[in-house]
Amino acid sequence: MKRRHFLSAFALAAGIFAFSGLVGPETFTAQAQTAKQERALENTLYLDLKDGRVTIKLRPDLAPNHVARIKELVREGFYDGIVFHRVIDGFMAQTGDPTGTGRGGSGKNLDAEFSLENHKRGTLSMARAQSPDSADSQFFIVFDDASFLDNQYTVWGEVTDGMEHVDKIKRGAEGSGAVDDPDKIIKMQVAADAEK
């Protein structure tokens, strides 16, 4: 009997708060919408290139550890000014090596997070050495279908806007893809951190 009385009192109190507008459905909807927008900004990168801004949707659903590490490096300013040292026409543009040689990185390898996600135009995936667990800070953006890479490299993002700017990245030598006087990342930032 006492329990029923307590539940009735609780229901009445909840009804009063809802009636007064303190916890109405509109409030919950607005809070949910704000939280959703904040999550979206936290999982979006802005990549500024010489020809304009590229918007990248992060994929923590596919590679949570890689996404966390990429965001950590981005927030440190690691990628700002780094060149696209290997760019192969019809294939991909690779960056993320502070030495610009293709042999450098941040010094922290990541375990592979391979998935069945396709390497299609606009996909961002981690570069690595022969070992599957050797990805560090280097990544590449795919120009065209590269499905032969599927389930062998960690996909962590996709271009949602500005792919036309990626298309203008200076190409390298035929075969090696090595670039003389390469284009660079002007700035890379998490959208949640960007100035309004």
Q: Report pLDDT digits (tens) over 138-183.
A: 999 999 999 999 999 999 999 999 999 999 999 999 999 999 999 9
Write 99-105 long-range contacts (CB < 8 A, 24+). Answer: 100/182, 102/138, 105/136, 105/137, 105/138
What gap in Å lies between CA 39 and CA 192, rounded to an integer?
9
DSSP 184: B
pTM confidence score:
0.82
Could you give the residue ranges of the DSSP H alpha helices within the chain? 2-20, 25-42, 64-75, 163-166
Which two structure tokens, joined as six digits, stand for 126? 């981690």
- A 10 A CB-CB count for 183 gives 18
Pure H helices in 57-122? 64-75
For the chain, give the number of residues. 196
Domains of the chain, first to last: 1-42 (no CATH), 43-193 (2.40.100.10)
**pLDDT per position as a tens digit, 48-73:** 999 999 999 999 999 999 999 999 99
The C-alpha atoms of residue 92 and residue 142 are separated, in whole angstroms, by 4
